[in-house]
């Protein structure tokens, strides 16, 4: 498919063409990097959620209620 649009600002020339082999390879590299970044973000979010839940569980084991935890640690909302 001709998914690439190339524009020359000085002459006004416009060409629509398919990806070159080099551009296609770069797109695949971009996709891999994006997938890794998303996986890392998900992993980080899951770790943070687990830490929040553990902190809440520990606070409750010490006798604190949800209301008390919310007042003392307003950023410590349950993950779900």
Partner 1 sequence: MAQTPGGTYYAASSELVSSWPATSLDLANQLESRFAAKAALAGATYTGTHNFTGATVTGVPQGLQLISSQSLSAVSTVSFNNIYSTTYSAYRLVIECVATTGFQNLQMRLRVGGADNSTTNYATQEIQADGSTVTAARPATTTSMTLGKTNTNGFHIVGDLIRPGDAEPTAYAALGVQNPAGLPGGWSFWGAQNQSTAFDGMTVFVGTGTITGRITVFGYREA
Task: Give the binding site for partner 1 (CB under 8 A).
Answer: 2-11, 14, 16, 19, 23, 26-27, 29-31, 33-34, 37, 41
State how far the Cα of 1 lies from the Cα of 76, in Å rounded to an integer.
49
| Shortest Å distance, C-beta 1 to partner 1 | 9
| Cα-trace Rg, the chain | 25
User: Do 31 and 19 form a contact (C-beta atoms < 8 A)?
Assistant: no
Question: 31 or 71: whose CB is closer to partner 1?
Answer: 31
SS3 14: strand
Question: 3 or 46: whose CB is closer to partner 1?
Answer: 3
| Shortest Å distance, C-beta 13 to partner 1 | 9
Question: 36 or 58: whose CB is closer to partner 1?
Answer: 36
Rounded to the nearest 5°, which phi and psi values hold at 16?
-110, 130
């Amino acid at each position: 498919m001709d998914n690439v649009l190339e524009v020359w600002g000085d002459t006004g020339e416009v060409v629509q063409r398919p990806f070159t082999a080099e551009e296609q390879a770069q797109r695949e590299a971009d996709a891999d990097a994006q997938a890794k970044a998303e996986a890392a973000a998900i992993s980080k979010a899951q770790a943070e959620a687990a830490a929040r839940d553990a902190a809440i569980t520990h606070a409750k084991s010490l006798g604190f209620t949800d209301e008390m935890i919310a007042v003392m640690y307003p950023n410590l909302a349950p993950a779900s």
